[in-house]
Amino acid sequence: MTSLALQALPLFGKVLDGAIAVVQTLTGKKAATIDHSWHPPTPTDRRSPCPMLNSLANHGYLPRDGKDVSLADLVTGFKESINLAPEATFLVTVKALRASSTGNFLTLHLDDLNKPNIIEHDGSLTRADFHSGDNHTFQPALFASFLAHLGGHPTISIPVAASARLARLAEARAANPEFSMSAENTRFSFIETASYLQVFGKGLDGDARADWLRVFFEQERLPFDEGFVRADKAMTVAGLFEVQRKVEEATKAVEGTKKTA
């Protein structure tokens, strides 16, 4: 993305946000629910391979049943819960909507996102690969391995997150004869690491709280009870790309160390 496009994105986000507010006022439709207490999904609720989408649905920031979730639901839900800038949600959702099975190009069911190679990819931190037959369910054993790679630190720095991601990729590659990651899959995998570091850490500097990460991955719950608060400043695309760049640099450093060892 060019720097000019990056600079124009926040303006686009404001227009998008305004348009969504107008549509919601005119149609009387408000995203999800006002009650944001956490409830686990019922057996008929639909969930995705993304721990954040699932957490927002479990808190009612997105429709709790995970069905017919609209672009407007996502933009509003992400803004209200973790203060993700509208244009950031928009960019990911435009891609995600390619997996939609709802018959409406502006909505998706959360489990539509299980479709491989749209956003879903091999080498996830806590999900098995498509080859295994289940590419979307949280896997405690994979998470245990990921946690071990994180090394028991109370906060997760960017280099530690980069090396845990690399270690999980190596494990997935070894376990899956059909392992594959396109350049686009790899980019998303970096963005996923950058996004959890930013939401649960210190802005652009990483240091995500490990106890919050456990709550997030294991329960698909936002760790409000443990002290997490919605950031005052919106998390922007430029900020996410900056953390992504830092994770990529840290990854190169880890790979370089391994080659010279």
Considering the complex, state which of residue 45 and residue 192 has its C-beta at the smaller distance from ligand HEM: 192
Q: Across the strands, what pairs with 120? A: 116
Considering the complex, state which of residue 160 and residue 259 has its C-beta at the smaller distance from ligand HEM: 160
Q: Which residues bind ligand HEM (CB under 6 A)?
A: 48-53, 74, 82, 84, 89, 92-93, 96, 113, 119-121, 124-127, 192, 195-196, 199
Least separation in angstroms between CB 125 and ligand HEM: 3
Cα–chain center distance at 97: 15
| Torsion angle (degrees, nearest 10) of CA 222, 207, 142, 168 | 140
Least separation in angstroms between CB 113 and ligand HEM: 4
What distance in Å separates the CA atoms of residue 165 and residue 111, rounded to the nearest whole number?
24
Least separation in angstroms between CB 199 and ligand HEM: 5
Considering the complex, state which of residue 57 and residue 125 has its C-beta at the smaller distance from ligand HEM: 125
Least separation in angstroms between CB 147 and ligand HEM: 12
Q: Which two tokens stand for residue 125?
A: 């931190």
3-class secondary structure, 94 = helix
Considering the complex, state which of residue 20 and residue 82 has its C-beta at the smaller distance from ligand HEM: 82
DSSP states of 33-87 as a string? -S-----PPPTT----S-HHHHHHHHTTSS-TT--SEEHHHHHHHHHHHH-B-HH
Considering the complex, state which of residue 125 and residue 160 has its C-beta at the smaller distance from ligand HEM: 125
Least separation in angstroms between CB 106 and ligand HEM: 12
Q: Which two tokens stand for residue 252?
A: 């190169």
Position of minimal CB gap to ligand HEM: 50
Least separation in angstroms between CB 188 and ligand HEM: 6
List helix spans (H) across the chain. Answer: 3-27, 51-58, 71-82, 86-96, 140-150, 158-175, 183-200, 210-214, 237-260
